[in-house]
């Protein structure tokens, strides 16, 4: 099923004001409803290599698994792609992330210049009027619905653990110096767990994936105001969000992906799918 009729996706990345190179990597494909963002670990060696490896590897595998279904099938005269259950899609995302993790980890163990590299990860797969959201580290996914912004992911970071334990308040956390110490990252260890959740999608929703270059410097209230102001112009919204990060110091690379749901995209079982379900 081609979802480009139902989804509008815009992405933008910027080196910021203080960094000499960009360690973020982003990609998207509206046809299969896929978005992905990775932020190479600042302070680690070859962070930009890790983030690019993650995005290229995962995007290629997801496209290989789902891309062929976006076109009209050549056999059996079946309308649209076969229905893929959430369990199948979840396993797909878990598997492709595990493969990327193994590749990055292997490279870090093999090449001295890549030792210790890693990356955060945030990804989304739109399917059957739902969104599967996966993340590792502190890159975030937000949702704007009915003018209200909500953070859909919880950072895998030392700071978040201290907030959860009641050691720090949200206000105190704003002024901490260890905001960027993540407790989970892709490629740093031989295995890593992808936190994966599913959400019901409504027409009019806007989803934001961002690196901490945005979320560390621009508070949620300003992000919400910006998205509401440019609700009909995602290109300008992305540009203004990046400008705001740079205006507030631009100390890190900043990347944003915006996905707006313009219509329903419910998977329809074909007679073939229903027949297979009936005989099982």
Q: What is the pLDDT of residues 183-226, one digit of tens each?
A: 999 999 999 999 999 999 999 999 999 999 999 999 999 999 99
Q: How many helices (H) and strands (E) are present in the chain, helices listed first?
A: 8, 10
Q: What is the largest CA-CA distance in the chain?
A: 61
Q: pLDDT per residue over 116-171, tens digit each? A: 899 999 999 999 999 999 999 999 999 999 999 999 999 987 767 666 777 766 66
- Burial of residue 237 (number of CB atoms within 10 Å: 0-12, 13-18, 19+): buried
Residue ranges and CATH numbers for the domains of the chain are: 7-279 (3.60.40.10)
- The whole-angstrom separation of Cα 69 and Cα 5 is 15
Helices 47-66 and 86-110, packing angle to 10 deg: 150
Tokens of 158: 């030392």
Mean pLDDT, the chain, rounded, equals 88
Three-state SS for 149?
strand
């Amino acid at each position: 099923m081609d979802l480009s009729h139902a989804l509008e996706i815009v992405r933008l990345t910027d080196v910021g004001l203080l960094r000499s190179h960009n360690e973020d990597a982003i990609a998207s494909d509206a046809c299969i409803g896929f978005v992905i963002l990775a932020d190479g670990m600042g302070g680690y060696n070859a962070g930009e290599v890790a983030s690019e490896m993650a995005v290229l590897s995962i995007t290629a595998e997801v496209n290989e698994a789902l891309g062929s279904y976006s076109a009209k099938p050549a056999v059996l005269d079946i309308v649209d792609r076969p229905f893929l259950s959430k369990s199948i899609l979840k396993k797909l995302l878990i598997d492709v992330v595990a493969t990327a993790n193994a590749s990055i980890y292997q490279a870090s163990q093999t090449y001295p210049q890549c030792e210790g590299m890693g990356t955060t990860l945030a990804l989304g797969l739109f399917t059957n009027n739902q969104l599967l959201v996966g993340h590792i580290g502190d890159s975030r996914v937000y949702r704007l619905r009915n003018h209200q912004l909500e953070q859909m992911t919880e950072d895998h970071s030392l700071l978040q653990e201290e907030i959860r334990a009641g050691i720090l308040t949200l206000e105190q956390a704003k002024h901490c110096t260890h905001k960027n110490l993540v407790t989970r990252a892709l490629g740093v260890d031989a295995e890593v767990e992808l936190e994966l959740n599913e959400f019901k999608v409504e027409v009019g929703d806007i989803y934001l994936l961002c690196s901490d270059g945005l979320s560390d410097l621009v508070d949620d209230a300003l992000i919400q105001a910006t998205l509401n102001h440019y609700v009909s112009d995602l290109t300008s919204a992305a540009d203004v969000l990046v400008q705001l990060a740079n205006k507030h110091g631009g100390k890190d690379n900043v990347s944003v992906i915006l996905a707006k749901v313009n219509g329903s995209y419910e998977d329809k079982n074909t007679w073939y799918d229903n027949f297979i379900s009936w005989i099982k």
